[in-house]
A and B are shown apart, each in its own frame.
Chain A
């Protein structure tokens, strides 16, 4: 009876949500704010990637919040799994083919991740994506080598250092500019690596932070498996 009621209610909810969302026209120029971003991005932020300029500059404060959410998730998990520290991972070695392959691909994955977050203002991708790519590289090593260890001390340093840099960049905007997170560096020539002011610096910090946090999360979770 309860299940029938639940399905019934879910159906009603789904119907109304669907009918409301289906009325939203996609691809039409309705959003005033969106138009403004498309027209002014390159001129105002020096970044040729509009999405990056919205994420890091126009709505940079949200990104600081999102970085914090991830930081919280890893801190909370570490707090809850505190007792499990030091437990060794008991898994079998992967086969020789996987191990050799992983060893070859691992540095390339790290390189790709770094490339993605350093070029966040020029090409698709950015700090979150780059960080996630780096963490997949570490995961590959975790799965192929039983003895592969990461230093928690260094992960913590990297994580904190990147977080502090983000907030410090924000505060320096308040000191030398007029508002928190304001760009205080020259915009440079669009399409060049050294352009778009503080955007690449913030994205590098985000990339390092996300990479370190996801790696820490994976390590914490793997150590709970017997």
Chain B
């Protein structure tokens, strides 16, 4: 059996089904399984990457050629995103290993595996209904993980997310029905080749349904009300999963559909404006937050706004910059959530004001948080600087000076609230209360250390990642090429 893209979906699924049986015999081994699976998937992702760069792989499923069966399209873009998801998944597993100590641990890892299955599925599939199925898998796993701590706030956040998420799913499904009714096929490439014959009014309705459906998962303003609650009430590694994996898959789905089916300049203008509003509103709300994880959640929404701005400029360069920003955001926000998770434990409170003076008590964890904060603001030696710079250049190239100014203003706001936390860590006197809760375990430090290393290395040598993203960006922009590849012509 040769390695092929379907392993990204089949192997974690098999692991999720196996975990309950293995859990009967050994509780310890259950914790190791996701690590083995994600290590294997990372190996598959890395070894298939060069293949996809040369010739995209279209994997036919159940032996039926598209458009009659379902197929997976593994081009440079999918290769990049699956590699990002599996590698981030592995780091998140390392962090979870000692962080998740509350039962049911077995269920936590099952949901975690299924979340990975769902989000890689969204990225790999070349079929619109199949994308809906994987969107459902991702969303339901995310609802359950939000409420994993089983407290009142968690249940409330999960219920909010569940309601609005079901709304999103039904809108997406309605759009899929309309597309099938008007084109007679579910294969994304074939829909794209037939979309021009669909009446304009129907097309606009489909667009609106998709924008609402995916906008909720992609945290587009004003549909992102669920995000701050879900991010802050879920266990910290789950916050990292939301920011690093789930949102990335949803943004991919939104952008893939917009570039393939609704390639009008008006749509891009609309998305640009929504991106700017999302970014500004989120950064201003982040400013006002008293709780550290809520602040990180709003900052995450703001960063997604920035990514959407870069995507909706629509040139190959700006898409490349957006993909780079997605990479940086996944790595940096995960580091921030990891560090914040233990800082909250050490200080014994979710409040920012409780972090006074922790820089001296917990030097390593605080250092990682500070590093992440400086990187996400976009200070020069770190990775975040380059993607923000490339975004600004590409937006300025398109002549959108107002957008450049607004992005810069948002960055200043971002700098203010992140530096406020960092200064509390290092320069404020420690408050009197002494609540020693838990030491940061080695696995936690290891996960944070790896991410910090990535941030610094990418900051010094940004060209390696940047050059890898060029074919991915071209794949997204070039719609005729996608149709040719995916229909095996």
List A residues at the B interface (Cβ < 8 Å): 16-17, 20-21, 23-24, 30-34, 36-37, 57-62, 64-66, 68-69, 71-73, 75-80, 82-83, 153, 156-157, 159-161, 163-164, 167-168, 170-171, 173-175, 177-183
- Residues on A with C-beta less than 8 A from B436 are none
Q: Are B64 and A167 in contact (CB under 8 A)?
A: no
Interface size on B, residues (CB 8 A): 58
Contact A20 B178 (CB under 8 A): yes
Q: What are 5 of the A-B contact pairs (CB < 8 Å)?
A: A37-B68, A69-B140, A77-B144, A79-B111, A164-B14
A215 to B: closest C-beta gap in Å: 15
- Give the interface SS of chain A, mostly helix, strand, loop or mixed: helix
> What residues of B have a CB within 8 angstroms of the CB of A34 in the complex?
184
Q: Are B62 and A32 within 8 A (Cβ)?
A: no
A17's contact among B140, B148, B174, B180, by CB below 8 Å, is which? B174
Q: Which residues of B contact A69 (CB under 8 A)?
A: 133, 136-137, 140
Residue in A80, A156, A181 whose beta carbon sits within 8 Å of that of B20 in the complex: A156
Contact present for A76 and B17 (CB under 8 Å): no
Q: Which A-chain residue is minimally distant from B178 (CB atoms)?
A: A20
By a beta-carbon cutoff of 8 Å, the part of chain B in contact with chain A is 1, 4, 6, 10, 13-14, 16-18, 20-21, 24, 59-64, 67-70, 103-104, 107-108, 110-111, 114, 117, 121, 129-130, 133-134, 136-137, 140-141, 143-144, 147-148, 150, 155, 158, 174, 178, 180-182, 184-186, 199, 201-202, 205
Is A174 a contact partner of B104 (Cβ separation < 8 A)? no
The total of interchain contacts (Cβ-Cβ below 8 angstroms) comes to 164
Among the listed A23, A31, A68, A171, which residue makes an inter-chain contact with B180, where contact means beta carbons less than 8 Å apart? A31
A75-B110, A174-B4, A183-B63 known; A167+B17 contact, CB < 8 A: yes
Q: How far is the CA of A1 from the CA of B1 in the complex (A)?
A: 63
> Would B107 and A180 count as touching, CB distance under 8 A?
no
With A32-B184, A79-B111, A180-B10 known to touch, is A65 a contact of B178 (CB < 8 Å)? no
| Chain B contact surface mostly | helix
Complex A-B, nearest 6 residue pairs according to Cβ-Cβ distance, in ascending order: A76-B144, A163-B17, A65-B133, A31-B184, A79-B107, A182-B63
Q: How far is the CA of A72 from the CA of B137 in the complex (A)?
A: 7
For the complex formed, measure the closest distance between the CB of B59 and the CB atoms of chain A, giving whole angstroms.
7
Contact for A175 among B1, B6, B67, B158, CB less than 8 A = B1
Complex CA gap A179/B72 in Å reads: 11
A171 proximity list for chain B (CB < 8 A)? 1, 10, 14
Enumerate chain A residues within 8 angstroms of B181, measured Cβ to Cβ. Answer: 21, 24
User: Do the beta carbons of A167 and B13 come within 8 Å of each other?
Assistant: yes
Q: Which residues of B contact A60 (CB under 8 A)?
A: 61-62
B133: chain A residues within 8 A (beta carbon) = 62, 65-66, 69
Contacts of B150 in A (CB 8 A): 80, 82-83
Q: Which residues of chain A are within 8 angstroms of B13 by Cβ–Cβ distance?
A: 64, 68, 163, 167
Are B68 and A72 closer than 8 Å at their CB atoms? no
Q: Return the contact of B205 from the options A20, A59, A160 (Cβ within 8 A).
A: A20
- Which of B21, B117, B121, B178 has a CB less than 8 Å from the CB of A156? B21
Chain B residues within an 8 Å CB radius of A71: 16-17, 114
A161 to B133, CA, bound (A): 22
Known A58-B62, A65-B134; judge A76-B18 contact (CB<8 A): no
A68 vs B12: C-alpha distance when bound (angstroms): 11
Q: Is the CB of A59 within 8 A of B111?
A: no
Taking CB atoms, residues of chain B closer than 8 Å to A20 are 178, 201-202, 205
Question: CA A164 – CA B60 in complex, angstroms?
Answer: 21
A62, B129: Cβ atoms closer than 8 Å: yes
